[in-house]
Structure formats: structure tokens, C-alpha cells
Structure 1
Amino acid sequence: MGQGSSQFTEAELEEYQELTYFTKKEILYAHKRFKNLALEKVGHNRNAKLPMDKLLSLPELRANPFGERMCLIFSSTKDGDCTFEDFLDMMSVFSEAAPKSVKAEYAFRIFDFDGDDYLGRSDLEETITKLVSPQRFSSEDMKALVNRVLEEADLDDDGMLAFAEFEHVISKSPDFANSFRIRL
């Protein structure tokens, strides 16, 4: 590979390719985009971490009401700051090539604001609020909407959604995979 192959060896590119849903060309393009977010910081520093605010300057994340949550979920240090590998993981999961089951797993984690491995009432309220922002529901309307979601999706009637219940609901949504996609 020529000068444009940046700082990756062929073996590293092959490893990234095995661990993601990207081709070598897409990996190099992802690195270029990552590097361009803070050229002065990344430069040739392979371990550089970009702050979340830099990542959120990407149009795909800036326009996404869950952009901040995505950064937090994929950040290896859980502070929203991402290394290139964190960034590559995020872009891979939301790529067109990633299977719906992988997208579902990460969507669930993004919507699980309290991190308890369930989507409870507060998680559902936060998710709905982000989806409809800047509109707001009255507290009565929000309660009715959350109740309706739970009536439809909470198969074991425990007042929250486990991953299996979430996955069951989205399996009925043909557009789910398309709504969780980022193009490089």
C-alpha cells in the first residue's frame, strides 16, 4: 500500500477487517474521518482519544438525538471520548453491513439510560423525549404512551422490557435496521 494507507500495517488492517463489518478501504476512510476531526491531536498518535464534542461534530452524530449516548456506549473509558478503535466499532455497528441483531443489541444499550439491562419506565420516557424533541408531552400523555409501549411489548408483565422483549418488538419493524445506520 502506498502513502495513503496511513499508519496501519497490512496485518492490522486485516485484523480490523475481521473485527468489523468494513473492508480495508472503508477502515482507511474511517481513519481519515477520525483524524480530520482533530488533525492536530491525532496526527500520528495511534492512541489518541477524541473528546465527545469533536465526535459530535460529525453530521451523522450531530443530527442523531442519541449521538451523545452512542459516544458514551462505545467509549472504552465510558466518558464519551473515543479512540480510533472505539470510533471504528461505532461506525461498524451502525454500518449498512452490520446485521440487525447487532444493531438491536447496541440500540438496547443506548436506550438503557440507567444501565440496568432493562428498559424501564424512566428509560422509555427518556427515549421518547429524545425522539420527539423539541416537542414535549404532558406528564399524563407521557405516562399513557409508556403504558401503551409496555402493554404491547412487556410480554412477562414485569413493568419493563428485557432485551428479548425489545428484540421481539423490533423484529416486527422492517425499518429498524435502516434507522440505525450511519454511512461512512
Structure 2
Amino acid sequence: MGQSKSQFTDEELQDYQDLTYFTKKEVLYAHQKFKALAPEKVGHNKNAKLPMQKMLQYPELNVNPFGDRICKVFSSSNDGDCTFEDFLDMMSVFSESAPKAVKAEHAFRIFDFDGDDMLGANDLRQVIDRLINTHKLSENEMEHLIRNVLEEADLDDDGALSFAEFEHIIDKSSDFSSTFRIRL
């Protein structure tokens, strides 16, 4: 069903299966979802790249306060525009089958707004702002919250969270894997 007119060769599908946490059938389904974002652009062009504005029309990205950051982290051009392979990689990491460690690595990159491989006070401020969205905190409340996060998680007291410290927090979170998920 639908596989007779696949844009992908059996070898390409096998490669996608080998490189993701998806079956060949799920890869084809992911391509349908990608194509639905811009059928006129994707059409028969398997190398099409969609602008971030189109990517953010994907329902789960549209409602996610980190939708733009997710697109930028998975974009091979680092601008939020995504090819099908970028989209497939994103969906694979957000799938139920992806290991917690892989999800943690990508969550860290999404929250690392300044790209310095640390989650400092400014990164934490942006994460908190996006999470609470409509309930703005006073500057004192924000500073208190950031200080509490760092006191709890900054094991080496350098004023920022390294990936190892972030991963330590994730390991304690029993629901991280189930909440860091996007369904195809």
C-alpha cells in the first residue's frame, strides 16, 4: 500500500532504517508527514528543504514553546530550515524508541541557546520564560528560581550546567522519555 510509488530505493530505505529508530514503513510515513507540510515544494523532490515557518506548521512543533529551537538544532544548515533527512532525524530522536541518552543530548542542545555547551543563567532564563509563557515572573522570582536550579544541579559550582550535570538531572526524571516525544 503506497510503497509501489516510493521516492526511495530499497537501499535508501534500508539506510534510513539503519540510521534511525524507525522501520521502513515508519520512514515512509514520516515522509508523508513531511510532504504534507508543503506538497507543492516536496512533490517528487526528495531533496527539498522546507523553511522553518513551514516546519513549525507541524502540529506538535506549532504548540511546543521550543519549536523554533528544535528546528534549529536538527537543521543541517543550522538555520531552522529542514530537509527530509533533518525531519527524519528529529522525529527519530523524539520517537518512543530513542534511548534516553540520545534524547538528553538533544534536549541539552535545544536548551543551550548561546551554543557554548553549558546551560548558564541566560539559557535557564530563556528556558523558564518559554515554559511559563503567560505567567511572567518578577526579576527577583526569576533570579531565585535560577539560583535554586543551579544550587540543586550545578555539582561543580561553576555557575552553569554541563551536559554531565544535565544528564544527571534527566536520569532522576522518570517521565523525561515519555514527555520528550513527538508522535509521527
- Show the counterpart of 1:175: 175
Query: For residues 163 and 111 of structure 1, what CA distance do their matches in structure 2 show?
Result: 11
* Normalised TM-score (structure 2): 0.98
Structure 2 regions of 5+ residues with no counterpart?
none
Aligned pairs for 1:119-158 within 5 A: 119-158=119-158
Matched-pair identity in %: 68
Query: For residues 159 and 110 of structure 1, what CA distance do their matches in structure 2 show?
Result: 19
**Runs of at least 4 residues off by over 4 Å:** 1-5
Query: For residues 174 and 64 of structure 2, what CA distance do their matches in structure 1 show?
Result: 20
Query: For residues 146 and 3 of structure 2, what CA distance do their matches in structure 1 show?
Result: 54
Aligned pairs for 1:12-161 within 5 A: 12-161=12-161
RMSD: 1.1
Query: For residues 90 and 21 of structure 1, what CA distance do their matches in structure 2 show?
Result: 11
Structure 1 regions of 5+ residues with no counterpart?
none
What is the one-letter code of the residue matched to 1:94?
F
Query: For residues 167 and 25 of structure 2, what CA distance do their matches in structure 1 show?
Result: 32
Q: Deviation at 1:4?
A: 4.7
- SS of the residue corresponding to residue 44 of structure 2 reads coil
Q: Is the 1:38–1:54 Cα contact (8 Å) retained in structure 2?
A: yes
Cα–Cα, structure 1 residues 142 and 97, in superposed 2: closer, same or farther, change >3 Å? same
Query: For residues 168 and 105 of structure 1, what CA distance do their matches in structure 2 show?
Result: 12
Deviations 1:12-50 (A, max 9, x none): 000000000001010000000101110110111111100
* Normalised TM-score (structure 1): 0.98
Q: Deviation at 1:2?
A: 5.8
What is the one-letter code of the residue matched to 1:81?
D
Q: Deviation at 1:135?
A: 1.3
Q: Deviation at 1:5?
A: 4.8
What is the one-letter code of the residue matched to 2:154?
D
Query: For residues 19 and 85 of structure 1, what CA distance do their matches in structure 2 show?
Result: 10
Deviations 1:105-149 (A, max 9, x none): 000000000000000000000001101102111000000000000
Cα–Cα, structure 1 residues 52 and 141, in superposed 2: closer, same or farther, change >3 Å? same
Q: Deviation at 1:53?
A: 0.9
What is the one-letter code of the residue matched to 2:46?
R
